[in-house]
Structure 1
């Protein structure tokens, strides 16, 4: 089945439904948002920005795209796609949001995994305009939106799935936009994720947090899985791309970054936790 763009968008200024009119999206109170030539919509009002150019930079987006397109995190994408499509009705569209979509890799992999399954209504949202531009250039089927998880430009109870992968979850907003029974799929780094790289760039590692995270309000726990595998990277450019696409690049000292830059090969542990929450 052909996948389509998610259309139940809300005005970021007053929450009213948005309707597409030609090359713009408008609400009944007169707010209008033009569709960019790359095909995305900018729904992050200036008063909701914390900086002039929030989110990942153009260089970070390019590094992430090169790294992900090389397939290094494909097992993560496969696990997320399988969990997203599990128990989906084959004859009903499945509305899916990737909240913090980056350049769209995981949403594209989800669409590919569902080509012989349910029809998807796809929405990718990121606060970085550079990320959304890159996503829109690669896949015109989805709705790509510059926006914030803190105030999702989505109508209430219109989504079946929300993905938050290595991102910043805003559970109250996720609960608002999910239908009753809908799933939030959250991917977080495990205690050993990229440990070998962290041991190189930091003088010492912080103790890992212990204990389970509290259950988000409005959700019940629907299961969790751990995915671990070794990842061998060769070439200074590939290692640099991984470092640039993570927060460690900015947290590490100049000496730590220099040690990473000197690497020509490294074997790392990928360790992630995939948690599923069901909306009451």
Structure 2
């Protein structure tokens, strides 16, 4: 069963937010309206680094098309398996996707949840366009605009936290996870999209795979590599992949032109999936 996550915190004073109709409100009177699309903006202007932070509407549309093509479905399946492992029926399990984009990985997680298990899910992204797109596609979750640097979540209220190709803030993740709660962190490996990078950059820097060092407050339970070939079959699909990544802005004009001229491309998907457990004796939580 999928339910909305309720243990939100006021981004201004950290107090518990309570939902009153179409508004989240804390005891001090700070209130945050729920938009017609079904999400709340919990990113105060003083926490923004730009007027419209995060991915643009065009990047979100490209990501949705690319992910719906199924190229990254093995990543979604592996992430869901890692997140659902050792969750037993009984008390609901709170799950946050920190940097949820348009919600693809949370939707895949929800679809993979076994009968009898209740997940309370929350998707958060700094891009309002991402959260709008996510909220339109999945009505059972809670969706908020926010930042990983100051998660609008009450302490020790989550059992699982996903961070895929994002910006992990492990001190904040430790604050919101219960003791024993887990992070599923997915990062690009050294050969990820190598074929595309060879086209758009004059040269590639060496990027040897390094052992994952668990951050303070966490123990590393496992570290796995997921690697497989994939075929992009059209100019539009190649353009969507480039548009949804930071490579769009880092590539040279000549490199982007070379990519735009391709009718198809074989790529390597290479990611590291680290499973981290929040230590019960984390001194930062004492």
Instruction: Specify the TM-score bucket, using the shorter chain as the normaliser.
Output: over 0.9
After TM superposition, give the deviation of residue 207 of structure 1 in Å: 1.6
1:64 corresponds in structure 2 to: 63
Equivalent position of 1:15 in the other structure: 14
CA contact (8 A) 2:190 2:209 kept: no
Q: Does 1:203 align with 2:202?
A: yes
| 1:50 correspondence with 2:53 | no
Which residue is 1:212 aligned to? 211
Question: Per the alignment, in what secondary structure is the counterpart of residue 148 of structure 2?
Answer: coil
Equivalent position SS for 2:153: coil
Q: TM-score, normalized by length of structure 1?
A: 0.98
Secondary structure of the corresponding residue to residue 134 of structure 1:
helix
Residue of structure 1 in register with 2:190 after alignment? 191
CA displacement at 1:108 relative to structure 2: 0.2
1:6 aligns to 2:24 (yes or no): no
Residue 135 (structure 2) aligns with: 136
Aligned length: 279
Moved over 4 A (4+): none
Distance in 1 (alpha carbons) for counterparts of 2:200 and 2:24? 46
The answer for unaligned runs of 5 or more in structure 2 is: 280-286
- Per the TM alignment, residue 116 of structure 1 is displaced from its structure 2 partner at its CA by 2.4
- Equivalent-residue separation in structure 2 for 1:76 and 1:139 (angstroms): 20
Structure 2 Cα separation of the partners of residues 98 and 91 of structure 1: 22
Mapping 1:32-51, distance limit 5 Å: 32-51=31-50
Gap runs ≥5 in structure 1: none
Q: Which residue of 2 aligns with 1:25?
A: 24
Aligned equivalents of 2:17, 2:213: Cα separation in 1 = 35
- Which aligned pairs between 1:93-172 and structure 2 lie closer than 5 A? 93-172=92-171
Deviation of residue 115 (structure 1)? 4.5
Q: Residues 117, 84 of structure 1: CA spacing in aligned structure 2 closer, same or farther, 3 A cutoff? A: farther
The C-alpha deviation readout for 1:248-275, integer Å capped at 9, x for no partner, is 0110011000000001011000000000
Cα deviation for residue 70 of structure 1 reads: 1.1
Change (3 A) 1:44 1:258: same
Aligned-residue offset at 1:144: 0.3
Q: Provide the residue aligned with 1:77 in structure 2.
A: 76
- Larger CA deviation: 69-78 vs 116-125: 116-125
Secondary structure of the corresponding residue to residue 108 of structure 1: helix
Alpha-carbon distance in structure 1 between the residues aligned to 2:55 and 2:223: 28
State the TM-score, normalized to the length of structure 2: 0.96
